[in-house]
Amino acid sequence: MLLLVDTGSHVKTLHIFGATGSIGSSTLAVVTKNKNLFSLETVTANSNAEKLAQIAIEYKAKHAVIADEKQFDVLKKALSGTNITYAAGRAAIKEAASRPADMMMAAITGIAGLPSVYEYLKQGKRLLLANKESMVTAGDLMKRRARESGAEIIPVDSEHNGVFQCFEEQNRDKVSRIILTASGGPFYETPANELQNVTVEQALKHPNWSMGAKISVDSATMMNKALEVIEAAYLFDLPPAQVDVLVHRQSIIHALVEYNDGSLLAHMGMPDMQTAIAHAMAYPARLNEGGKRIDITALAKLTLVPPDTLRFPSVKLAYHALGQGSEACIALNAANEAAVGAFLQKTLSFQAITRTVEKTLEKADNHAICSPDEVLDYHHHYEKKAQEIWKSF
Ligand code: NAD
Ligand code: MG
């Protein structure tokens, strides 16, 4: 068998797009634990130029890019006297994705990750996909580009990485369904009449996972699972009816794959993204160190139950969007990004997020979408629609 990561004789070069975030930090932690196997090529961030420069210097990256052009001087100053090259602006982020590297960790949040992901796929190398929004909004385009270039897309989202590990491609026609688990987030037991008063601070406190702000809110509304259902349908080429969701409050089982012969393969791990990241970076080999290990004897009880779609209707919206087509998936994502942004700025209530997505989806059309630029155009169109909708609440 081909060993991708062998004895360190061939160090793999790595881009980390979104290096200052939660997935970025977990990826750096995996690099630290496996020092001789990976070397950093490019690191990027949105606006924290000092943190980006610190990372670039500590990990000896070759190139650093900050999206916010106003931070260019800060980055320049912080990197002066080093050999690290630097740039600023959105175009520079996309451009950096064409610099050669064996792997790219796609860990930018939201649709902002799409241009660099799509650009990198041209190289025909390995995309480590954390940025689910790109697959949700441009799944067909990304898969086509990967097929053309020979690129691999290895899922990093823990549920999808779990499915990937249990999915026997040679028995694809014997897979009856895949199951993504959902923690249910911080409000799963909160009575419906109290959801209206949920604060940003409460929404950001996820019971099991430590993550960036946007995905934490997505987990609280369960829109994260809606995005993941769409992501899974594209990634594994399955009809929506074969992608199920079960609520599993303990976040130990991340995914299951059920076969026609009655076998149900489960992927288990601690709620620690380093496990999925380490797997994706080394596949088909395994690293010596990744995430925390489970103390299997300490697991008193694992529960799996269907989601409460009355209080959390988000997951239902994903099936609706998938049934309609890619424009509806873009509309769902755009309305959610806009509404979560407004909630984080405290100008929209928690419950209005899902309502906005639902109403925006009702307005979605079904045009053929042929390029990532068109995806971005539709995204902006539905963001505006979402804003009009919540103003009418
Ligand atoms: P985060 O907010 O902690 O980090 C986001 C990173 O992207 C930061 O480096 C930030 O500077 C950069 N960024 C944000 N907006 C940008 C923009 N407009 N242009 C350029 N760079 C920008 O987020 P995260 O929790 O690390 O999540 C990153 C992605 O991974 C998301 O798509 C999320 O859904 C996915 N994901 C995260 C987790 C997790 O445990 N955190 C798990 C599964 C999937
Ligand atoms: Mg996930």
Atom of ligand 1 nearest to the CA of 273: 40
Name the phi and psi angles at 89, rounded to 5.
Answer: 110, 160
Atom of ligand 1 nearest to the CA of 93: 20
Confidence check: pLDDT of 2 > 80: no
Q: Is residue 338 in a domain?
A: no
Atom of ligand 1 nearest to the CA of 110: 32
Return the pLDDT at 9. Answer: 54
Average pLDDT over residues 305-333: 97
Q: Identify which of 22, 135, 379 to mutate to test ligand 1's pocket (most ligand atoms within 8 A of the CB).
A: 22
Confidence check: pLDDT of 210 > 90: no
At what angle are helices 372-391 and 132-149 packed, to 10 degrees? 170
State if residue 211 touches ligand 1 by the CB under 6 angstroms criterion.
yes
State if residue 112 touches ligand 1 by the CB under 6 angstroms criterion.
yes
78: its two tokens: 């912080």
Pair (136, 218) in one structural domain: no
State if residue 121 touches ligand 1 by the CB under 6 angstroms criterion.
no
Label residue 3 by pLDDT band (50, 70, 90): very low
Average pLDDT over residues 205-209: 86
Residues 6+ away with beta carbon under 8 Å from 244: 177, 178, 179, 180
Pair (152, 185) in one structural domain: no
Pair (118, 240) in one structural domain: no
Q: Is residue 57 in a domain?
A: yes
Label residue 38 by pLDDT band (50, 70, 90): very high
- Nearest CA owner, ligand 1 atom 42: 157
Pair (101, 215) in one structural domain: no
Q: Identify which of 215, 227, 277 to mutate to test ligand 1's pocket (most ligand atoms within 8 A of the CB).
A: 215
Range of weakest confidence among 7-16, 138-147, 176-185, 262-271: 7-16
User: How many angstroms is it from 228 CA to the middle of ligand 2?
Assistant: 7
Give CA separation, 170 vs 167, 175, 240, in Å.
9, 10, 21
**Statement: the pTM of the whole predicted model exceeds 0.95:** yes
User: How many angstroms is it from 259 CA to the middle of ligand 1?
Assistant: 34
- Nearest CA owner, ligand 1 atom 4: 21
The model's pLDDT over 215-235, given as tens digits with 9 standing for 90+, comes to 999 999 999 999 999 999 999
Pair (149, 184) in one structural domain: no
Q: Is residue 373 in a domain?
A: no
State if residue 21 touches ligand 1 by the CB under 6 angstroms criterion.
yes
Return the pLDDT at 271. Answer: 96
Q: Is residue 277 in a domain?
A: no
* Interstrand relation of 103-106 and 126-129 (parallel, antiparallel or unpaired): parallel
Q: What is the mean pLDDT of the chain?
A: 96
Average pLDDT over residues 324-337: 98
Atom of ligand 1 nearest to the CA of 23: 26
Pair (202, 298) in one structural domain: yes
Q: Identify which of 71, 108, 114, 209 to mutate to test ligand 1's pocket (most ligand atoms within 8 A of the CB).
A: 108
Confidence check: pLDDT of 7 > 70: no
Label residue 79 by pLDDT band (50, 70, 90): very high
Pair (196, 137) in one structural domain: no
Confidence check: pLDDT of 386 > 50: yes
Q: Is residue 283 in a domain?
A: no
Higher pLDDT among residues 10 and 360, named by residue: 360
User: How many angstroms is it from 213 CA to the middle of ligand 1?
Assistant: 9
Which ligand has an atom closest to residue 254 CA? 2
Q: Estimate to the nearest angstrom the gap between the alpha carbon of 226 and the chain centroid.
A: 12
Q: What residue has token string 């979605």?
A: 364
Average pLDDT over residues 40-54: 98
Q: Identify which of 23, 30, 69 to mutate to test ligand 1's pocket (most ligand atoms within 8 A of the CB).
A: 23
Show which of 128, 156, 184 is a domain's final residue. Answer: 156
Confidence check: pLDDT of 5 > 80: no
Average pLDDT over residues 11-26: 98
Label residue 351 by pLDDT band (50, 70, 90): very high
Which ligand has an atom closest to residue 26 CA? 1
Average pLDDT over residues 25-51: 97
Pair (174, 319) in one structural domain: yes
Q: Is residue 87 in a domain?
A: yes
Confidence check: pLDDT of 208 > 90: no
The model's pLDDT over 168-199, given as tens digits with 9 standing for 90+, comes to 999 999 999 999 999 999 999 999 889 988 99
Q: What residue has token string 């004789």?
A: 9
Pair (116, 238) in one structural domain: no
Distance CA 19, CA 49 (A): 11
- Nearest CA owner, ligand 1 atom 36: 130
Q: Is residue 71 in a domain?
A: yes
CB-CB contact of 332 with 361 (8 Å): yes
Pair (196, 107) in one structural domain: no
CATH of the domain at 80: 3.40.50.720
Pair (77, 132) in one structural domain: yes
Pair (229, 318) in one structural domain: yes
State if residue 45 touches ligand 1 by the CB under 6 angstroms criterion.
yes
State if residue 215 touches ligand 1 by the CB under 6 angstroms criterion.
yes
Q: Which domain holds residue 319?
A: 170-270+293-324
Q: Is residue 264 in a domain?
A: yes
The model's pLDDT over 276-318, given as tens digits with 9 standing for 90+, comes to 999 999 999 999 999 999 999 988 799 999 999 999 999 999 9
User: How many angstroms is it from 159 CA to the middle of ligand 2?
Assistant: 5
- Nearest CA owner, ligand 1 atom 41: 211
Return the pLDDT at 39. Answer: 97
Count of the separate structural domains present in the chain: 2
Return the pLDDT at 6. Answer: 46
